Amino acid sequence: MTFTAKPKYKKPEWLRKKIVPNAQIEMETLLKDVGGLHTICQEAKCPNISECYANKNATFMILGNICTRRCGYCNVLTGMPNEVDLSEIKKVTTSVLHLGLKFVVITSPARDDLKDGGADMFYKVTQDILEKAPGTQVEILIPDFKAKEESLQRAVDSGAVIIGHNIETVPRFYKIRKNASYERSIHVLKRLKEIGGDKVKTKSALMVGLGETEEEMVKVFKDMISVGCKFLSIGQYLAPTGDYEKVVEYVHPDQFARYKEIALDMGFEFVHSTPYARSSYMAHEYLQDNPL
């Protein structure tokens, strides 16, 4: 049995997120003071932004804030990106030190204009954090790098303890993922785990509310488990304002709980499955019960 509610002009009660405006202003000021870095929290207008900022958690976005793809669900700017800015390396590390962060998530827009998709920059940023902020762990959330072997190797060699690559949705809806393919993304997760072995945990995320069925979701869970991906995030898709893919349904919290139970029974080690879960939400919790 599935638990859903049709979209209305007003979101259901369980999607009314508490805002902490003062925390958001404070965190954005701190980020501006250390170089004006981009965060995916701001660029994608994440609904968890004030909660995470209140806890001084942020997901830094390197390689600029312009994506070379135009996915039908994502609010990140698209177009022709600028040249790689190596000063981002110092800015990220300075921010980590300034904020006293012990767990850091690094992501980027898709950079199909770069030969390696930006993998070398992930490596350099992660290595700089690990060198200058001992005791800090790094998670990287990468695009598919067009599944280039040398780029995936570079990501594994970075020293990140978790490498995430988001599947996003079930195969039937992959038309909303510009220049991506389900098979390629599963292959990326497979190769990351094969290359990284026991030194790397792999992670992925799925949106619900696009009209997917439970059967389709479970099939994706099976595909993830088959390639060694043991960390999973499941959250409600909320359409940005404008010409984006529409929400088909608001999935009830009971269904999120059911997905979590199914996934854990299948062998996932940690699952965040709530309406407001996102790939980087409370990222440090994944390793608390599953140390490397």
Return the domain boundaries, the chain. 4-287
Q: What is the pLDDT of residues 80-139, one digit of tens each?
A: 999 999 999 999 998 888 878 888 899 999 999 999 999 999 999 999 999 999 989 999
Beta strands in the chain (DSSP E): 4-5, 38-39, 59-61, 66-67, 77-78, 103-107, 137-141, 162-164, 201-208, 231-236, 250-251, 270-273
Q: What is the pLDDT of residues 202-230, one digit of tens each?
A: 999 999 999 999 999 999 999 999 999 99
Task: For residue 185, give the 3-state DSSP assignment.
Answer: helix
Instruction: Tell the CATH topology of 4-287.
Output: TIM Barrel (3.20.20)
d(C-alpha 68, C-alpha 79), whole Å: 6
Please state whether the predicted TM-score (pTM) of the whole model is above 0.75: yes
Phi, psi of 249 (to 5 degrees): -155, 150
Q: Is the pLDDT of residue 42 over 80?
A: no
